[in-house]
Amino acid sequence: MKPKAYLVGGGIGSLAAAAFMIRDGGMLGEDISIRGALPLMGGSLDGAGHAEGGYSLRGGRMLTTDNYECTWDLFKSIPSVNNPGKSVYEETVEFNEQHKSHALARLVDCRRAKVPVSSMGFSMRDRIELLKLSRTDEAALGSSCITDWLSSEFFDTEFWVMWATTFAFQPWHSAVEFKRYLHRFLLEFSRIETLAGVKRTIYNQYDSMVLPLQTWLQAQGVHLIADCRVTDLDSKTEDGKFIATGLHCLQHYDNEVIAVNDGDFVFLQNGSMTDASSLGSMTSAPAKLEKEDSGSWTLWEKLATGRPQFGNPATFNSSIAQSCWESFTVTLKNPAFFEQMQQFSGNEAGTGGLVTFKDSNWLMSIVLAHQPHFLNQPADAQVFWGYALFPDRVGNFVPKPMTDCNGAEILQELCGQLHFDLEVIKTANCIPCRMPYITSMFMPRSLGDRPLPVPANSKNFAFVSQFVEIPEDTVFTVEYSVRAAQMAVYELLGITRGVPAVTPHDKSLHAEFEALVKAFK
């Protein structure tokens, strides 16, 4: 009998795994099904709405072509939906050649002055501590935090503000992950103030990545089943091997048990950075949800109980105070805001990247993407995205924590930071989004807290997510999920084509030299 594959979770990790099974494993699409709890496929890689009711994206993603080896390996095979004859990779590279990132207003201070950032602001002690951390091996770093290695002054440097807001790090996050970022993104070190290494997709990542991939999978016959939660997994152990034998599914109040036969495969998306996320509106703050209100951790928690090889979800989902932040998407029907912002920053929309208000209590940043940012966006609408790393603090212009603010209050705070008249956002629609687990992947961890994509004793079961252990690679990236998918599929299906290696930019003498020069400026 031909093997079937069951993928649990509708994120880019599952979509990528299905594509690798077809392209490299020779499986038929009709033998693959993806069950996702959300109404749409794509998981955290979302983007939806319309000009009238307002657009919403939980995230605006930065990609690179210097890294993201598995992502581009995949998207070289996926046709664009808008540019016939081109792959998603080709259209993205072409777009970035025409729209190069070169931020001219990366940091803005409370006087609305652009902060000169050609120096990283390091003291000699900062440099020594940073070098020491970047050279300490992961075993010695253990489950320590970044603050265990770097003195408090380090967190006031321009480097930290730019690095932390580019990648969403907090001082209490994992020292191991911070070290991995320093190595993986060494090329960004010397261009962090202009974000010149950042590559963008033409539209938001739902329209530019998820949609083409989903269209291709559907054309191959893959079954995409939305609004379906897998609540339990049946299993047996044979010769010491864990074998998944059944899936318990809940769709629209209907329970179904699906038998997983000998030779079939099961892939689980364990955990999600956008679990329990909620949207607000111009008049209401987002609801404060927790994991009990959602469900992306539940199956992993069940499976990991008594099975140390399946990791430890509690390491990642036990402290909302350390993993929460909030984003917002603004839809405008009046070009005044974009015009003033472009004039102030010196960047045309799509060329500047993040503008961070470094003295703002919320540590707020905004990005003006190239317009239109949505496939269905009319020419007279503009959309931009922003976020804040400290939504629990009272604002500078709104006397409330961001998490208690509606969209109108967030716009008031933004205009205060920019010293723009409220008139420019009079007809704007701001949709806030609270994400209690958004940096859960960055929580300090020990080896073993994340399972391997294919755990040592597994015969037909794999994990595909941000919460698996992959040497050298960095979480909070599309790449990590696609790499996990490629590794899991190749191992379970016995595919001999190699998974693209993590590019060793940190081993290049030139790159290391450049980074050192920057650090010592």
Q: Is 296 a residue that touches ligand FAD (CB under 6 A)?
A: yes
Closer to ligand FAD by CB, 10 or 436: give it.
10
Closer to ligand FAD by CB, 12 or 487: give it.
12
Q: Is 230 a residue that touches ligand FAD (CB under 6 A)?
A: yes
Q: Is 269 a residue that touches ligand FAD (CB under 6 A)?
A: yes
Q: Is 8 a residue that touches ligand FAD (CB under 6 A)?
A: yes
Q: Quick one: tokens of 314?
A: 């509690």
Q: Is 17 a residue that touches ligand FAD (CB under 6 A)?
A: no
d(CA 96, CA 208): 13
Q: Is 12 a residue that touches ligand FAD (CB under 6 A)?
A: yes
Chain-centroid distance of CA 285 in Å reads: 23
Backbone φ, ψ for residue 232 (5° rounding):
-155, 165
Least distance in Å: CB of 208 to ligand FAD? 13
C-beta separation of 224 from 211 below 8 A: no
Q: Is 465 a residue that touches ligand FAD (CB under 6 A)?
A: yes
User: Which alpha helices (DSSP H) does 386-508 contain, by range?
Assistant: 407-418, 478-493
C-beta separation of 191 from 353 below 8 A: no
Closer to ligand FAD by CB, 150 or 349: give it.
349
Sign, CA torsion 302/306/308/313? positive
Cis peptide upstream of residue 372 (ω within 30 degrees of 0): yes
Applying CB under 6 A, among 157, 466, 474, 486 the residue interacting with ligand FAD is 466
Least distance in Å: CB of 296 to ligand FAD? 4
Q: Is 58 a residue that touches ligand FAD (CB under 6 A)?
A: yes
Least distance in Å: CB of 212 to ligand FAD? 15
Closer to ligand FAD by CB, 149 or 235: give it.
235
Applying CB under 6 A, among 199, 229, 450, 518 the residue interacting with ligand FAD is 229
Residue 300 contacts by C-beta under 8 Å, 6 or more apart in sequence? 268, 270, 271, 310, 311, 313, 467
d(CA 471, CA 461): 20
Closer to ligand FAD by CB, 190 or 269: give it.
269
Q: Is 369 a residue that touches ligand FAD (CB under 6 A)?
A: no
Applying CB under 6 A, among 4, 5, 6, 10 the residue interacting with ligand FAD is 10
Q: Is 347 a residue that touches ligand FAD (CB under 6 A)?
A: no
d(CA 364, CA 309): 39
d(CA 48, CA 373): 11
Q: Is 434 a residue that touches ligand FAD (CB under 6 A)?
A: no
Q: Is 11 a residue that touches ligand FAD (CB under 6 A)?
A: yes
Applying CB under 6 A, among 34, 63, 349, 462 the residue interacting with ligand FAD is 63
Q: Is 45 a residue that touches ligand FAD (CB under 6 A)?
A: yes
C-beta separation of 54 from 429 below 8 A: yes
Place of tokens 């009990």: 292
* Interface region with ligand FAD, contact rule CB under 6 A, candidates 2-10, 104-112, 278-286, 310-318: 2-10
Closer to ligand FAD by CB, 18 or 150: give it.
18
C-beta separation of 263 from 269 below 8 A: no
User: Which alpha helices (DSSP H) does 78-210 contain, by range?
Assistant: 88-98, 124-135, 138-141, 158-167, 175-184, 186-189, 205
Looking at residue 198, its amino acid is V
Q: Is 233 a residue that touches ligand FAD (CB under 6 A)?
A: no
Q: Which of 284, 287, 244 is nearest to 262 (CA)?
A: 244
Applying CB under 6 A, among 150, 299, 332, 414 the residue interacting with ligand FAD is 299
Q: Is 13 a residue that touches ligand FAD (CB under 6 A)?
A: yes
Q: Is 184 a residue that touches ligand FAD (CB under 6 A)?
A: no
Chain-centroid distance of CA 460 in Å reads: 27
Least distance in Å: CB of 334 to ligand FAD? 26
C-beta separation of 499 from 70 below 8 A: yes
C-beta separation of 279 from 286 below 8 A: yes
Size of the residue set binding ligand FAD (CB under 6 A)? 35
Segment 18 to 37, residues that bind ligand FAD, using CB under 6 A: 35-37
C-beta separation of 478 from 509 below 8 A: no
Place of tokens 């202009």: 194
* Interface region with ligand FAD, contact rule CB under 6 A, candidates 78-86, 268-276, 404-412, 418-426: 268-276
Closer to ligand FAD by CB, 44 or 417: give it.
44
Measure Cα distances from 246 to 9, 76, 468 in Å.
Answer: 16, 34, 22
* Interface region with ligand FAD, contact rule CB under 6 A, candidates 144-152, 307-315, 472-480, 487-495: 472-480
Segment 437 to 456, residues that bind ligand FAD, using CB under 6 A: 438
* Interface region with ligand FAD, contact rule CB under 6 A, candidates 57-65, 109-117, 131-139, 418-426: 57-65
- Residues, the chain: 521
Applying CB under 6 A, among 5, 276, 478, 499 the residue interacting with ligand FAD is 478
Q: Which of 277, 255, 252 is nearest to 329 (CA)?
A: 277
Least distance in Å: CB of 12 to ligand FAD? 4
C-beta separation of 445 from 316 below 8 A: yes
Segment 316 to 345, residues that bind ligand FAD, using CB under 6 A: 327
Least distance in Å: CB of 260 to ligand FAD? 15
C-beta separation of 321 from 392 below 8 A: yes
Q: Element (H or E) spanning 267, and its range? A: strand 265-268
Site residues, ligand FAD (CB under 6 A): 8-13, 35-38, 43-45, 58-59, 61-63, 229-230, 269, 272-274, 296, 299, 327, 438, 465-466, 476-479, 481
